[in-house]
Structure 1
Amino acid sequence: MLELRHLKTLHALREADSLVEAAERLHLTQSALSHQFKELEERLGMQLFVRKTKPVRFTSAGLRLLQLADATLPLLRSAERDIARLAGGTAGRLHMAIECHSCFQWLMPTIDQFRDAWPEVELDLASGFAFAPLPALARGDLDLVVTSDPLELAGITYVPLFTYEAMLAVANQHRLASKPYIVPEDLLSETLITYPVERDRLDIFTRFLEPADIEPAQVRTS
């Protein structure tokens, strides 16, 4: 029976203090606004305000509806602002996962900058090593994934962020420390320590050792 426009017109009438000024605020003619009030009063079976009084004098029914307007309209305006921010990308929740160990050092300062620039966006960051993030992205469970191992999945687009050089960390006294670069054969007799990740997700194996058919003497995880 009641509509938001009824609450808005009553609120405008109280603020304007006359039908003429209220009609101007609502971009209506005075006759159209009068008709709207008359129609509402007929629906309710009660008069809402006393005509030809200034300031406008509301009846008990009109005052009750104004209470409702005071409680409802601010919530409506707040919801409209929130939706506008969501639509504009300035508020909401960003679900993301990272499955690139070497990306953490770069990503965390970037996330801090993002939070400073978009304080109303809540970040939900998950490690992609506990689950398969790319299928989750394809299902819509995540908004984005930072990965070094792109998979061909329908509906997913990859955007390059940066390139990095793989480095081998050794002690200063190690026999390989003075070499200008490392070849796969250099690791034949070595113990290789890697991240605790499946071999098929580590570049040291997929792009360096396996193409040369080289296996280190031992492989351990950190």
Structure 2
Amino acid sequence: MIDRQHLSLMREIDRQGGLTAAAERLNMTQSAASHALRRLEAQTGVTLWRREGRRMRPTQAGRTLLDLARRLLPQFERADAAMADFAKGRRGLLRIGMECHPCYRWLLKVVEPYLVGWPDVDVDVRQAFQFGGLDALTDHEVDLLITPDPVARPGVGFTPVFGYDLVLAVGRGHPLAGRDHVRPEDLDDEVLITYPVGAERLDIYAQFLGPARRQPSARKEIETTDIMLQMVAAGRGVAPLPDWLLAEYAAALPIVGLPLGPEGLRKSIHVGLRDEDAALDYMAGFMAQAARVGAAV
């Protein structure tokens, strides 16, 4: 019978590349790990790993079991943590996944009053912007997903919590600063400053430049909003940002925001959670607080 120890061993062999390192991570002796693997292969009747050079590679059967380990072990670990929290009198941990760089500042406005209202719930924010957020949500690696681009999937629901306009931040002395709006061709000779996200995931490419078949002269990736807008204020480029975020900086920096196109580019931030968790009171509490903050933005 396949048990949790077997799944843990499969996952660690894959992560570490070999049995000895996996055994060390699991606080097992190498001989005990080797015996457990041989016993598992004998029980299943298949070879699970093959050695290629210095690494062990899963067979087709091994990959099937490895996929199972990746799905189930996070749920076991979450259950362990939840039971430990209940034993200590805590409600648990709310893990929030982020697929939106600028939304972190908005999230802080949600988390502060939420922690006051739910003192027995801890919050962990995972800003893995390149990760598969939806997969992490369905695989129980996170409990909530904040994203501007919800994707329908059975068992998961997304709720819009606030809307905003994506605008182009330019310095006050920039030639475009006096325009009512910008056109795609206006960016032909501009340096576009963005967060370090693939162009296919950036709305300014997907919904503004792409349909017009236009490209900026160059693109520069910057991790932090503060540095990004300092660059814009210094005339080093232009940057697409939510209007509400730009408004927070405009009082201190010589920057202005211009609509993208005559109609502007409207977006919404959504919070996604698993259907099975929707009735949990502390989940509902977070959604209510997110909606209140969103309405005030």
Residue 194 of structure 1 aligns with which residue?
194
Q: Which residue of 2 aligns with 1:129?
A: 129
Paired residue total:
138
Structure with higher strand content: 2
Other-structure match for 2:208 = 208
CA distance in 1, matches of 2:100, 2:161: 12
1:187 Cα offset (Å)? 0.5
Partner deviation per Cα, 1:2-56 (whole Å, 9 max, x = no partner):
xxxxxxxxxxxxxxxxxxxxxxxxxxxxxxxxxxxxxxxxxxxxxxxxxxxxxxx
Superposed CA deviations along residues 96-121 of structure 1, whole A, max 9, x for unmatched, are 11111121121112111110111110
| Secondary structure of the corresponding residue to residue 169 of structure 1 | strand
Q: Is the 8 A contact 2:130 2:197 kept in 1?
A: no
Instruction: Compute the displacement of 1:130 (Å).
Output: 4.6
The SS at the match of 2:158 is coil
Is 2:167 the counterpart of 1:167?
Answer: yes
* Distance in structure 2 (CA, Å) of the matches to 1:208 and 1:195: 17
**Distance in 1 between the 2:213 and 2:202 partners?**
15
Higher CA-based Rg: 1
Q: Classify the secondary structure of the residue corresponding to 2:174.
A: coil
Residue 184 of structure 1: aligned partner: 184
Using the aligned pairs only, state the percent identity.
38
Q: In structure 2, what is the Cα distance between the partners aligned to 1:199 and 1:163?
A: 22
Residue 144 of structure 1 and its aligned partner are, at CA, apart by: 0.8
State the secondary structure of the residue aligned to 1:128. coil
What TM-score do the two structures reach when normalised by structure 2? 0.44
CA RMSD in angstroms, aligned pairs only: 2.0
Give the 3-state SS of the residue equivalent to 1:204 in structure 2.
Answer: helix
Structure 1 unaligned spans of 5+: 1-78
Partner of 1:143: 143
Distance 2:114 2:180 in 1: 38
Offset, 1:157: 1.0
Once the two structures are TM-superposed, the CA of residue 219 in structure 1 deviates from its matched residue by 1.1
Q: Offset at 1:161?
A: 0.9
Shift of 1:203: 0.8
Cα distance between partner residues in 1 of 2:212 and 2:104: 29
Distance (whole Å) between structure 1 residues aligned to residue 190 and residue 149 of structure 2? 26
Instruction: Look up the equivalent residue of 1:121 and give its one-letter code.
Output: V
Distance (whole Å) between structure 2 residues aligned to residue 158 and residue 97 of structure 1: 13
Could you tell me how far apart the structure 2 residues matched to 1:104 and 1:180 are? 29
Distance 1:181 1:219 in 2: 21
- Distance in 2 (alpha carbons) for counterparts of 1:205 and 1:152: 22
The CA distance in 1 between the partners of 2:138 and 2:188, in whole Å, is 40
TM-fit CA distance, 1:152:
2.7
Contact 1:98-1:128 at 8 Å conserved across structures:
yes
Range with bigger deviation, 174-183 or 152-161: 152-161
Query: How far 1:180 moved relative to its partner?
Result: 1.2
